[in-house]
Amino acid sequence: MSRLRLSNDPKEHKQLVRDFWKIVEDIVIREYNEIKNMSMRDSFYHVALQLGKIRGKEISELQYKYFWEQKTYDYYTQDKWSNWEKKYNIIRPQTKNYTVMIEQGKRKVLPEDINEVYSRARGFIYVEKEGKASDLLELSRFGWIILGAQGQSQRLLREILKLDSENKPILVFHDADRAGQLIKDVFIDGFQPHLFRFFSKGLYLSGRIGSKCKSCTF
C-alpha cells in the first residue's frame, strides 16, 4: 500500500496501520449518512476533514500524512470500501467506473485494451474532470487523445506509463489542491527512472512555481 512508514519496526508499523484504519472505519460508519450521497473522492476529503480534527490527539501527524498518500487513496476507494460494504451492508459512495476518451473529435469510453489506443496516439492529455476533457476536444483532431478519468484512482495513468516505450508526450492538467497533488504523486512514483525527461509547470498548494515532475503537469 503506502510507502510511508509509521515506524521503523515492522511489527509496530503494522499495528499502527491497523489502529489507524480502525479509526477511519469508525469515522466512515459514523458519517455514513453524509458520505453515502457524495462522490468517492469527496467522501475521502470528508474523512480527511474528520481526521484533521483529531490529528495530534487520537492520530499522529505521520498517520495524517499517511492518509494523503496516493496508495492509501487507492486502498481506501477499492479495498476498504469493498470490505465495509460486506461487513456493514452499506453502499459505497458514487463512483463512475469508466474513463471518457476523446479521439478525432469523438467521445468514447476508453477500451480495456489500452495498447490499442496507445499505438495510434500522438500523445495523451489527461484531465481530472470529464467537462475539462470536452473543453479540449479540438486538440483531439490533431492526434492527441484526451482522457477524463472523473475522479477515479489514477491506475489508468500507470497503465499508460508502462506502455510509454516510444516516449510519447503525456500532458496532465490538474488543480492546485489535494486531488491534484495525488495525481502528480502518481507520476513521481511511477516514473522515477525517467524523471530527466519530464517537467512540471504551474502553481502548487504553496503558491510556488513547481518543477521536476514526471510529465508536463499544469
Kindly state the cell numbers that stand for 3.
510507502
- Which residues, given as ranges, of the chain have pLDDT below 70? 1-3, 95-99, 112, 129-130, 149-166, 178-179, 181-218
* CA–CA gap between residue 87 and residue 15 (Å, rounded): 21
Positive or negative, the CA dihedral 117, 122, 125, 130 is negative
pLDDT at residue 216 in the model: 42
The pTM of this model reads: 0.52
* CA–CA gap between residue 69 and residue 53 (Å, rounded): 18
DSSP 169: -
pLDDT at residue 3 in the model: 64
